[in-house]
Amino acid sequence: MILMRVALKFAYNGKNFYGYARQPKLRTIEDEIINSLVKYELIKDSKLSCFRSSSRTDKGVSALGNVIAFNTENFKKEVLNKLNKENEDILFYAFKIVDDDFYPRYACLRQYRYYLDITNKDFKKVVKGLSFFTGEHDLSNFARVEKDKNPVRVIDNIIVSKLERFLVIDFFAQTFLWNQIRRIISAVEKLGCEKISQDEII
């Protein structure tokens, strides 16, 4: 058989997982996916297949368009149905045979959506607080910055819409830091509840 590199696009409901990345003795999206790929003989293990993911999400966070890539000798379109039957919280909906050096971490743009309950919060102050984060900023105080990681990031755009009692907040950027969105939301939520002032964010 001919060795090929395959990219799969998928969505998942993160509510029942302890995040995306594999963790010992915890249920994660990555672990479920790798186990399913091994079960259906698409890969033998993650290292030999050069298994890679485009993005990692925190506990409880969902995704609509994550991507994985791996090397395999045994891929057919029909296998997507088997993978989807394996776990109702993960849905594979697209695939492509890609170049041997395809690395899904090199995304041009990522979108992160957050639903914020604005009950008893000042809507205008929340939106104003979000506007402070567009463009390039040192986010050392608004992320969990890993060792040797650059804390400076660019948020290309933040789009806000209202859905009943929720604000639907879409962040667009090429890369995000660990816990970046969660901490930004925490800050603007406190601003909307008048627990902090604008000066404490800027």
Q: pLDDT tens across 27-50, in order?
A: 999 999 999 999 999 999 999 999
Catalytic residue among 31, 58, 138, 170: 58
* 4-98 has CATH 3.40.630.30 classification: no
Calculate the average pLDDT of the chain. Answer: 93
What mean pLDDT is predicted for residues 18-22?
A: 93
- Every domain of the chain with CATH number 3.30.70.660 lies at 110-200
Q: How many other CB atoms are there within 10 angstroms of residue 138's CB atom? A: 12
Q: Which of 157, 149, 158, 200 is nearest to 177 (CA)?
A: 149
123-147 pLDDT, tens digit each: 999 999 999 999 999 999 999 888 8
- Every domain of the chain with CATH number 3.30.70.580 lies at 4-98
> Is residue 157 within 8 Å of residue 123, measured between CB atoms?
no
Instruction: Work out the end-to-end distance of the chain between its first and last CA atoms, rounded to an integer number of angstroms.
Output: 58
> Is residue 121 within 8 Å of residue 192, measured between CB atoms?
yes
Q: Give the Cα separation of 145 and 67 in Å (integer).
A: 24
User: Looking at the whole model, is its pTM more than 0.95?
Assistant: no
Catalytic (active site) residue 170: no
86-117 pLDDT, tens digit each: 989 999 999 999 999 999 988 888 998 999 99
Q: Give the Cα separation of 41 and 51 in Å (integer).
A: 14
> Is residue 167 within 8 Å of residue 126, measured between CB atoms?
yes
Q: Which CA distances in Å does 137 have to 40, 56, 86, 196?
A: 45, 22, 42, 20
- Name the band, by pLDDT with cuts 50, 70 and 90, for residue 61: confident
Query: 110-200 sits in which CATH class?
Result: alpha beta
Radius of gyration of the chain (CA): 19
